[in-house]
Each structure stands twice: as C-alpha cells, then as structure tokens.
Structure 1
C-alpha cells in the first residue's frame, strides 16, 4: 500500500473521482462507481470485493475504521485536504472515506420464480436505496429497475442502501413489458385506490412486488398485469411514501412466512 498526497482539484485522479460521483453517464462509461463512508467500504471488503483506490484526509488516515479497510487493501491511498473532501462529499458529516470500485457485472440471468422487487420509474435515490435495504432484509433475492428509475449504483443510492446491494442481484434499464408476464409466481402492485387489502393476501409463496413512481404510481400496464392491493390507513392519509409502502408489504410477507 502506498500513500499519495494530492493537493490540486485539477489533478486527473480528482477529476475522475468527481466525474464518478456526479455523472451517471461517466459511471456507465468507466464501469465504476464510488462508495462513500466506511460502513459501505467495510461491507464491500467483507464480501471479498476489490477496491481500486481510496481517498481520505490526513487527519483520519489512522482512524480504526479506515485501518480495518486498509488491512484488506493493497492499492494507493490518496490523501486530500479537508476542504477538497467537503467539496467532493455527498454526505458532509461522515468519516472521510471515498473508494472507487468496479461496477459488478450482471452475468446472472433474471429468474422468474424468486421473490422479486420491481421498481417502475422510482426516481428518488433515497427511496430506491431504502427499498433495496428493506428488500434485502426481508429476504427478497433480486431487484429490477425499469428505465427512468434512479441508478442503482449511484453514490446516493448506495449510501441509502447501506450495503444491501452487495447481497442481492440487481438488474437495471429493463422494460416492464419484457418481463412481467414471464413470472411464474403471483405479481402484486400497490395502489391506494384499490379496495383489496394487503392483509387479505396469501403471501407464503414467492411473490413479485411492483412499486411505482412517487407521484403517478404504477403504470396502466402494471395494473393490468398484476393484482393491485392497498394498505389500510385508518388515519386517513392520501398515500404512503413508496419506500414505506414497499417495506410494509415485504414484512407482511415475512410475518406470514414465519
């Protein structure tokens, strides 16, 4: 392991890092993304995955959490000024740690008999990351994002997912029409305008959950090719946040199976 001090924001390494943080098209072109925070870094190396490069500040170079990651790392550690780190960071208050990693290759095929979460045009990175985290905790094995959804491997979605990405199969830029009718198991969509209660469903067998856009909900196509269920809300709110609604569905499934 080597330690390299970088001072200029115009350094090629810094420009590359900034491009990966800020631009989805650049991440796709380079086949890389950025993990921010030692929680993600530790989760990544615990999966025996390779880190390409690490960025931190001199003050925290010997912090125990960073040292735990460095114990599993043999590349270069780039040390930058506190002010430059704050300029790059999307978190602001976390322990200074940025790691460039390769995007996982999607060599595995989507399976049509497994518990699956499909995100249809869900655009908020926080919602997408939270849904991945809840899905992984509930034992859902694969997550599909349609075109128009937030990029699964963006730094903000990774941050909200808190490592869920590393234990679940992910598929992006999928057309719903290409896959929905191929599933061999029940397919559910959530809709606050339907009277069929979530709690009346038998969820003991593998299931597919389709969750839609934060404002418009699921598409007409999804409604036509799935069973729409609602979550009872005796408090009278118009609708639930999509991440909350999805989590309620996943853990009702877990409750029934336990």
Structure 2
C-alpha cells in the first residue's frame, strides 16, 4: 500500500533541516544514523539490493511523473516545493527525488571476509571509486582507518554509485583493529614485493590501499603478510590509488575465475 504524500512547505521544517544537513554535511550521518540518497540512481541501487528507505521525498514538479516503484518503496512519502527541494540538495541541478535510508547496524570486522582496507585516503572520489571496484570484484567488506574520508558522506555516496549497499562498511578504525582479520594482508607498494601479474593471490584476502601522497603507513606495512607491486612499463612513478585498487582487486577476481575453471 502506497503512503499518502505529506506536503511540507517551509524550509524551516525540522525534516527539511535534517535533509539539508544529511545532503550537505559530510559527517551528519554519524549523529543521525541515516543518510540522504540524492536522485534516482542511488535510490534504485538501494532497492536493487533488497533494502528499503524510511522516507521518500519528491519535488512538486517531479511528483506527477514519479515512478510507482519509488513512490511505494517507503512507509513515509513527502512532497516539497521545488525551491525547498533545491535548498536540500547539494547538487547544482537538484534531482526530482531522493530517499532517506537508515544506516546499517555494523559492529566490528568480520574476520574472514574479503576486505579492502583504506589507509587515510583523502579524496572522496577516490574512496567512492574504490568502493565500486570492491563491490564489482567480489569483496564484501571495507575497513577504513581514521583519517579516511567519511564513507557515507554525500560526495563518497555519489562517487560510489550504489556500491555502498553491497558492502559491509566499518570506519574510524586504528591499525590494531586489523588484528581481528584472519585473512592475509596484501599491501600495495611501488618499490618492493611480488609483481602482481606473476603472483598467485590468496583468497579471501585483504588488500590495503594507502594515502594518495604518503602511501601505506608504517603501522600497516609492519602487519603485511605480503607486498605486491604493479608493473608500469610506461615509466610513471606511481598510479592513482583508485586505479591501483581496480587493478589489484580485478587480479584477485581473475585468479578466482581461473581456479574455478582449472
């Protein structure tokens, strides 16, 4: 049964203020326990993973053409004037709709899950891209150390393109917390370790991706089970961390397919 839409007119309505905070403040989700999903793509990605929002929000102009599946997805449906919707969204071109979704209840790391460790990655675009690669290549858990961009921030959510809903995300960790992982820690390096294209990779495992400028920190280097480097015959000194992550995670996925076919 589809909920009857509630019309809210004021920018100062408590819900509108909360939506604005969730859409524009990188860490508001931590206090409020929920996130704002801006636009059709993220909303559909949530539904595709079998999850449901708590609130569906539509602009007045977007309501007449709203998709019935999106309207029916939440127990509460809200309509906002276009100007109020524009004040909520952090985008230059505000979407016609969005969802409010509760954060998943995640307590600690799963010891044997295929994991990607983010060591102080700063750029939201890089973090979102790594999450997309993790989800695409069969990794199910992301462990973010303190200093990494907020995983559920609006920019990371948009860059992740829905990957968040396929992953177990644990953030705010210290290096010692990784001792709970039972899978081997593979650390990327530009100057030491096995060549990736020649390596036989363990599965499951945990790939460690380091800070854009400083690389992997000493605390994680000391915990490494193995160092791996990517051949760069073109002579560049290093790769963008998101590109390096895609190459390494794909190599793990390719190794699994090869083992399955042998």
TM-score, length of structure 1 as denominator length:
0.89
Aligned to 2:88: 88
Paired residue for 1:70? 71
Deviations 1:57-89 (A, max 9, x none): 22221335x4321132331222221x4434432
C-alpha offsets along residues 162-210 of structure 1, whole Å, 9 cap, x if unaligned? Answer: 221112211111111222x443332111122326311222114211101
* Aligned mates of 2:27, 2:139 — CA distance in 1: 28
Q: Any idea what SS the aligned residue of 2:5 has?
A: strand
After superposing on structure 2, the runs of 4+ consecutive aligned residues of structure 1 that deviate more than 4 Å are none
What's the CA shift for 1:152? 1.4
* 1:238-257 to 2 correspondences below 5 Å: 238-257=237-256
- For 1:122-176, what per-residue CA distance to the aligned partner results, in whole angstroms no more than 9, with x for missing partners? 1211111111111111001211111111111122212111221112211111111
The 3 A distance-change label for structure 1 pair 30 and 205 is closer
Give me the whole-angstrom Cα distance separating, in 2, the residues matched to 1:242 and 1:121. Answer: 11
User: Normalising by the residue count of structure 2, what TM-score does the alignment of the two structures yield?
Assistant: 0.88
User: CA deviation digits over 1:22-70, x for unaligned, max 9?
Assistant: 2344321211111111111122233343322232322221335x43211
Cα separation, 2, equivalents of 1:48 and 1:250: 25
Structure 1 residues 48, 205: CA separation in 2 closer, same or farther (over 3 Å shift)? closer
Contact 1:204 1:257 in 2 (8 A): no
Contact between 1:34 and 1:154, CA under 8 Å: does it hold in 2? no
Residue 138 of structure 1: aligned partner: 137
Equivalences, count: 254
Matches for 1:160-179 after TM superposition, within 5 Å = 160-179=159-178
Residue segments in structure 2 that go unaligned for 5+ positions in a row: 258-262
SS of residue in 2 equivalent to 1:248: helix
CA RMSD, aligned part only? 2.1
Equivalent-residue separation in structure 1 for 2:65 and 2:211 (angstroms): 41
Structure 1 residues 94 and 16: CA distance shift in structure 2, 3 A: closer
- Alignment partners' CA distance in 2, 1:115 and 1:26: 29
User: Does the aligned pair in 2 maintain the 1:54–1:76 contact within 8 Å?
Assistant: yes
Shift of 1:111: 2.4
Residue 125 (structure 2) aligns with: 126
Q: Which residue of 1 aligns with 2:260?
A: none
Per the alignment, residue 41 of structure 1 pairs with 43
Runs (5+) with no aligned partner, structure 1:
none
In structure 2, the partner of 1:185 is 183
